[in-house]
Amino acid sequence: MAQVVWITGASSGLGLHTAQALARHGFTVAAGARSFGRGKTAAGCLCLPLDVTSPESIDAFVSQALKAYGPPDILVNCAGMLILGACESYSPEELRQVMETNFFSQAAMISRVLPFMREKGKGRIVNFSSINGLLGIPFEGAYTASKHAIEGYSECLSYEVKRFGIEIMLVEPGDHRSGSSAYRKHAAGMTSDSPYKAAFDAGTARIAQDEQNGSDPDALGEKIVQALKKKRLPRRLRVAKPDQHLAVILHDILPPALFDRIIGPYYS
């Protein structure tokens, strides 16, 4: 019998590629995204409207997914957004928007599926983090903070739910050729007279270039599927190019001043 997957953020970017990979491999997929309420679809999936920042929308998604397929065997939390800006430039509302979408929504979805999984005595939860959950880069402060939060939360969660037969996996993608500029906004405070403007323009140009030359998002979807087919789910699945793997290693072993001298010029 096919395993039932609930997946958020499935209308674009890595969420879409992951949802379609799951469907191709025979999983029964209930896919949620805001744009699914406006006619957009994902091949092979039951596409349901879902705004992960709205408790009412989450309730509606859960009700419809349960009615269609029953409780989930797997939850995949993909919904996310990014606001580029200097840390000083973010408004409180922008910081909250990123945290609500990238972190609090994952916690909310997890709380909804855990009772079903405990009742079954098994389940799997896949939380999308990022390389930025392990190290920071200039002008992604809000996004990096949200990914650090989900890293720590997921580690704690894994200890707590293991006794119920529930496994947790963090996915830590590097740059991939996917996503939409609608989810890569600029902070309102990044105006032409910002003291960070020149550095911001250089840094975000490098970030855009890295994304354009990033890894194949379909390959990431396939790697998630292969991990889910294993008898035991790995705690972490890092999918990145060799230089980004190396950056994580150097971040952990080098003195901060030396690491900064390596990374800083790259974004300027």
Query: Given the structure tokens 């906004």, which residue do they identify?
Result: 185
In the block, residue with structure tokens 């855990």: 114
Reading the block at residue 2, the tokens are 């096919």
For residue 208, give the H/E element and its range. Answer: helix 197-212
Beta strands in the chain (DSSP E): 4-7, 28-33, 46-49, 74-77, 82-84, 123-128, 166-173, 184-186, 236-239
Of 36, 33, 29, the closest CA to residue 6 belongs to 29
The count of other CB atoms within 10 Å of the CB of residue 25 is 18
> Is 89 marked active-site?
no
Q: How many CA atoms lie less than 13 Å away from 215 in the CB half-sphere?
A: 21
How many C-beta neighbours within 10 Å does residue 205 have? 11
Q: How is residue 41 annotated by DSSP?
A: -
Q: Is 230 a catalytic residue?
A: no
Catalytic choice (90, 130, 143, 196):
143
Does the active-site annotation cover 229?
A: no
Task: Please report the DSSP string for 118-143 in residue order.
Answer: HHHT-EEEEEE--GGGTS--TTBHHH
Among 12, 89, 105, 129, the one annotated catalytic: 129
Strand order in the sheet with 4-7: 46-49, 28-33, 4-7, 74-77, 123-128, 166-173, 236-239
Q: Does the active-site annotation cover 143?
A: yes
Catalytic pick among 89, 105, 146, 147: 147
CB burial of residue 136 (10 Å; 0-12, 13-18, 19+): middle
Catalytic residues: 11, 129, 143, 147
